[in-house]
Amino acid sequence: MEDAFVRFDKVQKSYDGEILVVKDLNLDIPKGEFLTMLGPSGSGKTTSLMMLAGFEPATHGDIYLGGESINNVPPNKRGIGMVFQNYALFPHMTVAENLAFPLKVRKLGAADIEAKVQRALDMVELGQMGGRRPAQLSGGQQQRVAVARALVFDPSLILMDEPLGALDKQLREQMQYEIKHIHENLGVTVVYVTHDQSEALTMSDRIAVFNDGVIQQLSTPDDLYERPQNSFVAQFIGENNRLHGKVAGVSGDECKVELDGGGEVVAKTVNNTASVGERTTLSLRPERVEIEPKKGQTDNTVTGEIKELIYLGDHIRTRMEVAGNDEFIVKVPNSAGNKPLAEGAQVKVGWKAEDCRALDPMAV
């Protein structure tokens, strides 16, 4: 990509000279994109962010910002706004002084500073809070101040390191929308780090799923959810039923798989990797499974036993044993036509071949 605003080029990072925390990271981020680095802890996502911010040097490779290599540019010369996990609001300054900090550093005039601070406070709906200390604000308000402070000096790139981690669920969801709207209104580029997949799905234009120092998949949220490229992504994003087996035959982009727990199903091959005799893990979303399907409605039909029913209002979460997997989840919509289910009952479940993806084998 020629017009990449941020570019990681063959970046590697090691802290101790023995383990690579980031292995060969190549990533292009166009201007104005909201890109999320998603992954479990220790996957290298925060390290990548810190290298972009300039707090950690890359052991190998180059990072470009606006076409220029910034490897040797100190963090204060990069002009990147940053929101930290614990907000890092300066406790000995008022909210207004916190916001004025980056402007004072840039030696703006007092009137100019005041106007910009007020505008930033208004943007996060904290116009009256300028005189307070961070400790006098609630977690959500502190969070907004942190966002405002990262934006107040009009950086073209904002980094956010798990900024919503400390908030409760309701506030977190509200802030997700607010940050998303700020991003849409200002058109800044955002690189966002989180380990919360639903947060990533809600906010991002694209998501880079990290594991073990490598980007496992880089796609839009719907692509990531519906077309995971490997079994790590499939199990990390959303809920996922896994069935283990061996490829028995391949035809076009579909393959026959002999399940370990008995039975044979048809699945969609991914990246044309499956060849006869190889082990594979099938990934299947719970909401794509039908209970007692009509004939011809699904490509695959398997019998399973209902182990547990959990009533969740809009749907009934049904745990079943299917082909040796007793954690097989089916989401049964709570609609009028469905006949009641009973624990211990034997029922048929079915799904379409295209909803079942044959991915790389995972340890059973």
What is the binding site for another protein (CB under 8 A)?
53-55, 74-82, 84-86, 88, 90-92, 101-102, 105-106, 149-150, 153, 159
**Residues 294, 307 contacting (CB under 8 angstroms):** no
Instruction: Tell me the C-alpha distance between 155 and 37, whole Å.
Output: 20
For residue 238, give the nearest of 187, 279, 285 by alpha carbon.
285
Nearer to another protein, 74 or 277 (CB): 74
* Closest approach of another protein to the CB of residue 5, in Å: 17
Nearer to another protein, 65 or 282 (CB): 65
* Closest approach of another protein to the CB of residue 249, in Å: 55
* Closest approach of another protein to the CB of residue 83, in Å: 9
* Closest approach of another protein to the CB of residue 163, in Å: 12
Please state the separation of Cα 134 from the chain's center in Å.
29
Instruction: Tell me the C-alpha distance between 286 and 289, whole Å.
Output: 6
DSSP assignment letter at 81? E
Instruction: Tell me the C-alpha distance between 26 and 264, whole Å.
Output: 39
Instruction: Tell me the C-alpha distance between 19 and 212, whole Å.
Output: 11
Nearer to another protein, 90 or 261 (CB): 90
List the Cα angle 261/262/268 in 5-degree steps. Answer: 90
User: In which region does residue 57 sit, left (phi positive, over 0), alpha (psi from -120 to 50) or beta (all else)?
Assistant: beta
* Closest approach of another protein to the CB of residue 160, in Å: 12
* Closest approach of another protein to the CB of residue 86, in Å: 6
Name, in order, each residue with C-beta under 8 angstroms of 309's C-beta and a sequence gap of 6 or more: 316, 317, 318, 319, 341, 342, 343
Nearer to another protein, 64 or 84 (CB): 84
CB neighbourhood size of 194 (10 A): 24
* Closest approach of another protein to the CB of residue 238, in Å: 31
Nearer to another protein, 93 or 214 (CB): 93
* Closest approach of another protein to the CB of residue 128, in Å: 23
For residue 193, give the nearest of 159, 151, 149 by alpha carbon.
159
* Closest approach of another protein to the CB of residue 55, in Å: 5
* Closest approach of another protein to the CB of residue 342, in Å: 50
Nearer to another protein, 137 or 201 (CB): 137
Nearer to another protein, 83 or 182 (CB): 83
Instruction: Tell me the C-alpha distance between 226 and 203, whole Å.
Output: 17
Instruction: Tell me the C-alpha distance between 73 and 53, whole Å.
Output: 10
Nearer to another protein, 65 or 284 (CB): 65
Nearer to another protein, 151 or 234 (CB): 151
Nearer to another protein, 161 or 299 (CB): 161
Exposed, middle or buried: residue 74 (CB in 10 Å: 0-12, 13-18, 19+)? exposed
Could you give the count of Cα atoms lying within 13 Å of 348 in the half-sphere of its Cβ? 11
DSSP assignment letter at 289? P
Task: Look at strands 325-333 and 346-351 and give their pairing.
Answer: unpaired
